[in-house]
């Protein structure tokens, strides 16, 4: 009997450790300041960390160029990517999104003359720059032939427009202005910014596999709790972002 008790006590710590075992979930994204900061802070990282807090998944955030992040998830080398559109043919999409993105904008060089009522057809044959991997030619500009100038950093795209080696740059207006400010480029000096399309929902998407579906279910369970408790609203307010960017209807 004593031996059994001793054996039981001997194994208790091991059983307890097993109960607390967690799995690392590798999540990649480009660095978007205030959203996916390289130091692990930011709106998206806070939402994901909070949503997974009650699960056996421990998120590990990886910062890298967008194209590389996409390829690593598609190849199964990384588990998930943050900030993706609803693309169920490529990724496992959870029910809950991270954010409703800002409208997609177009920066035009001073030498380019555009009508106030901009149409996408006006961009045909033009030199357009955007971040490598954003693939606007597959979505927003599908069916319109343009001369594509992909770059790895936004400041490169802004410089291409400023030097008139590109006619346009496509990105979110806030990021365009941020990049221009970093290059001391005055956008009020003849540049034009036009809204091309309304924002879409952005997701934390997972590998397209059975494991990816399980991860998505765990994420959704955590997100449900964040929304019901109002914690999602507090996370948005922490980063000085209106919860309307999440979708006000989702809080009802």
The pLDDT tens digits for 50-108 are 999 989 999 999 999 999 999 999 999 999 999 999 999 999 999 999 999 889 999 99
Cα 204 to chain centroid, rounded:
7
Same domain, 111 and 40: no
How high is the pLDDT of residue 21? 57
How high is the pLDDT of residue 19? 46
Q: What pLDDT digit, counting tens, does each position of 144-165 carry?
A: 999 999 999 999 999 999 999 9
pLDDT at 133 over 60: yes
**What's the CA angle centered on 229, arms 228 and 235, to 5 degrees?**
110
Which residue among 166, 181, 197 closes a domain? 197
Number of DSSP helices (H) and strands (E) in the chain, helices first:
7, 10
* Any domain includes 65: yes
Q: What pLDDT digit, counting tens, does each position of 225-236 carry?
A: 999 999 999 999
Same domain, 110 and 75: no
Q: Nearest-CA neighbor of 45 among 70, 220, 33? A: 33
Same domain, 37 and 116: no
How high is the pLDDT of residue 116? 64
Q: Which domain holds residue 31?
A: 24-100+200-251
How high is the pLDDT of residue 13? 44
What's the mean pLDDT in 28-40? 96
Query: Sorting pLDDT into bands at 50, 70 and 90, what band is 250?
Result: very low
What's the mean pLDDT in 207-223? 97
pLDDT at 4 over 60: no
Please report the sign of the dihedral spanned by the C-alpha atoms of residue 9, residue 14, residue 15, residue 17. positive
* Any domain includes 4: no
How high is the pLDDT of residue 84? 95
State the total domains in the chain: 2
What's the mean pLDDT in 20-36? 89
SS3 6: helix
Question: Percent of the chain beyond pLDDT 90?
Answer: 76
Same domain, 113 and 193: yes
C-alpha to C-alpha distances, 195 to 1, 67, 105, 107, nearest whole angstrom: 77, 24, 4, 9
Rounded mean pLDDT of the chain?
89
Half-sphere exposure of 220 (CA within 13 A, CB side): 13
Q: Which residues have CB under 8 Å from 8's CB, separation 6+?
A: none
CATH number at residue 188: 3.40.190.10
* Any domain includes 7: no
């Amino acid at each position: 009997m004593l031996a059994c008790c001793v054996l039981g006590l001997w194994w208790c710590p091991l059983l307890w450790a097993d109960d607390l075992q967690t799995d690392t979930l590798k999540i990649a994204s480009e660095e978007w300041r205030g959203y996916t900061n390289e130091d692990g802070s930011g709106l998206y990282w806070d939402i994901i960390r909070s949503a997974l807090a009650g699960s056996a998944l421990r998120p590990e955030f990886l910062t890298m160029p967008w194209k590389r992040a996409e390829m690593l998830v598609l190849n199964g080398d990384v588990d998930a990517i943050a900030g993706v559109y609803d693309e169920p043919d490529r990724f496992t999409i959870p029910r809950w999104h991270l954010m409703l993105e800002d409208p997609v904008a177009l920066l035009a060089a001073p030498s380019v003359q555009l009508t106030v009522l901009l149409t996408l057809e006006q961009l045909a044959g033009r030199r357009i720059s955007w971040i490598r991997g954003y693939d606007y030619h597959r979505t927003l500009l599908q069916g319109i032939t343009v001369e594509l100038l992909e770059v790895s950093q936004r400041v490169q795209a802004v410089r291409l427009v400023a030097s008139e080696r590109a006619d346009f740059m496509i990105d979110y207006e806030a990021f365009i202005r941020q990049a221009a400010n970093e290059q001391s480029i005055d956008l009020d000096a003849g540049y034009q910014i036009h809204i091309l399309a309304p924002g879409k929902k952005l997701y934390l998407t997972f590998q397209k596999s059975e494991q990816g579906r399980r991860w998505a279910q765990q994420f959704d369970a955590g997100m449900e709790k964040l929304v019901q408790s109002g914690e999602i609203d507090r996370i948005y307010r922490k980063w000085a972002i209106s919860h309307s960017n999440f979708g006000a209807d989702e809080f009802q």
